[in-house]
Amino acid sequence: MKWSLAIHGGAGIIEREDMSPKRETEYRNGLLDALSVGEKILSKGGTSLNAVEASVRTLEDNPIFNAGRGAVFTEKKTIELDAAIMDGKTAKAGAVATVTRTKNPISLARAIMEQSNRLFLAGEGADDFSIAHGLEQVQPHYFHTELRLAQYEKWRAKQIDKLNKSHIMGTVGAVALDCDGNLAAATSTGGTTGKICGRIGDTPIIGAGTTAINGIAAVSCTGTGEYFIRESAARQICDRIKWNGQNIHSAAYDVIMAIGEIGGDGGLIAMDANGDVAFAINDMGMYRGWVADGRAAQTSIYPDDVLKSEGREARTTKEMH
Ligand code: ASP
């Protein structure tokens, strides 16, 4: 494959009976839009870095995903957004946490990577950097949606178990390989419903929720972030490939299982240096999609809904064993 692009829109308990056909179509169309934006860049010889940023921006702008517009609320009914991007070619990365006014946090992460000698900014300083570097600002109201407000109200009423679990998650991410053999990864999230203000998950932590290393792998994770941080999930996949001789599928499988063993839930997308993709999910569904040189875009939602490529991968890695 000359180029390849995989995306996710979050993992969760996603069951067919809870999903209306209309809602399913909205998710699939949202994924296809993001794939198409990235595909246009990669198929013309553009960089994987541009492709993952553009795909994630598209998902951030779509209110059905928990990133940018449509992000979940904190315990104080505010919005705090986290994002990270990594360029496998240069091994440079940029990350932001708890930003409140930037329309597209993934582009702020990229601006930090390219326009400062720092990697990770949080809170007010990140918001100030965003304004100073001309990133589009919005009023907090822009991020609000009825769906997330309803989730928040139920959470407030301590009825978390009554939430529609298929819509709790929704972190977005992309991994890509370009025609020059460069890998990149990007992830963006509103975090978890009712999170304590100031809480930062795995998404913006390089090596936990996001990483890209040329010649090895690009990874983007979603799920209960604290567990992905404790397992250094994204980096662990790279290290298993580099030092343990594992392929992308067995490395992704082992890492998602390790997260499950300590009590974490979620999924991840991982792409190797040839553009081969592993979609690893621990007992859940994950909004996901894949497009590559010579292969039409495909989307998938449920755990048993396998993406096909010449009769093997890409698939939920749990099914491999
Ligand atoms: N991993 C994200 C976090 O912990 C949430 C998610 O992926 O749904 O902030």
Cα angle 264, 188, 297 (rounded to 5 degrees) comes to 95
Question: Cα(145)–Cα(33) distance, rounded to whole angstroms?
Answer: 20
For residue 292, what pLDDT is reported?
96
264 lines ligand 1 (CB under 6 A): no
Arithmetic mean of pLDDT over the chain: 91
- With 70 as the cut, is the pLDDT of residue 67 above it? yes
The CA distances from residue 105 to 19, 68, 74, 115, 135, in Å, are 29, 7, 17, 15, 9
Q: Average pLDDT for residues 66-78, to the nearest whole number?
A: 94
Which residue out of 74, 98, 102, 171 is catalytically annotated? 171
Residue 300 pLDDT: 93
- Burial annotation 163-201 (CB, 10 A radius, 16+ → b, else e): ebbbbbbbbbbbbbbbbebbbbbbbbbbbbbbbeeebbb
Contacts of 174 (CB under 8 A, 6+ apart): 5, 6, 7, 8, 34, 38, 51, 52, 55, 56, 59, 185, 186, 187, 220, 269
In the predicted structure, residue 36 carries a pLDDT above the cut 50: yes
> What's the confidence (pLDDT) of residue 312?
45
Answer whether residue 16 shows pLDDT above 90.
no
- When pLDDT is averaged across residues 17-39 and rounded to a whole number, the result is 93
Q: Name the DSSP letter for residue 171.
A: -
Q: Which of 44-58, 108-122, 176-190, 269-283 has the lowest mean pLDDT?
A: 269-283
Q: Which two three-digit tokens encode residue 200? A: 């930062």
Task: For residues 296-304, give the mean pLDDT.
Answer: 89
Q: At what angle do helices 105-115 and 48-61 cross, to 10 degrees?
A: 150
Give the three-class secondary structure for 142: helix
For residue 64, is pLDDT > 70? yes
∠ CA 88-241-13 to the nearest 5 degrees?
85
pLDDT at 219: 98
Q: What is the pTM of this model?
A: 0.93
| Residue 163: predicted pLDDT | 53
CB of residue 201 inside a 6 A radius of ligand 1: yes
Amino acid found at 70: G
Q: Are 271 and 177 in contact (CB under 8 A)?
A: yes
What pLDDT score was predicted for residue 208? 98
Q: Find tokens 């699939």 and name the residue.
A: 28
Task: Give percent above pLDDT 70 in the chain.
Answer: 92
Give helix 123-132 / helix 105-115 axis angle, nearest 10°: 80
* Residue with CA at minimum distance from ligand 1 atom 4: 225
267 lines ligand 1 (CB under 6 A): no
Given a cut of 80, is residue 191 above it in pLDDT? Answer: yes
Digit-coded pLDDT (tens) for 260-297:
999 999 999 999 999 999 999 986 789 999 999 999 99
- CB neighbours (10 Å) of residue 93? 23
The 10s digit of each residue's pLDDT in 141-162 is: 999 999 898 888 888 776 555 5
pLDDT tops 80 at residue 310? no
Its CATH architecture, for the domain 4-316, is 4-Layer Sandwich (3.60)
Of 11-15, 98-102, 127-131, the poorest mean pLDDT is in 11-15
Q: At what angle do helices 48-61 and 21-43 cross, to 10 degrees?
A: 150
Q: For position 6, what pLDDT does the model report?
A: 97
* Residue 53 main-chain phi, psi, to 5 deg: -65, -45
- Dihedrals phi, psi of 236, to nearest 5 degrees: -60, -35
User: What DSSP character marks residue 74?
Assistant: B
User: How is 261-310 classified by DSSP, letter by letter?
Assistant: HTT--EEEEEEETTS-EEEEESSSEEEEEEEETTEEEEEE-STT----BT
Predicted local distance difference test score (pLDDT) of residue 20: 87
- Amino acid code (one letter) for 202: D
pLDDT tens sequence across 204-236: 999 999 999 999 999 999 999 999 999 999 999
Confidence at residue 303, expressed as pLDDT on a 0 to 100 scale: 80
- Look at residue 69 and tell me whether its pLDDT is greater than 60: yes
CA-to-CA distance for 116 and 113, rounded, in angstroms?
6
Residue that is written with structure tokens 């965003």 in the block:
130
Q: Where are the domains of the chain?
A: 4-316
**Whether the CB of 166 sits within 6 Å of ligand 1:** no
Structure confidence at residue 169 as a pLDDT band (50, 70, 90): low
Percent with pLDDT over 90 in the chain: 79
Q: Is 102 a catalytic residue?
A: no
Instruction: Identify which of 187, 203, 219, 227 to mutate to test ligand 1's pocket (most ligand atoms within 8 A of the CB).
Output: 203
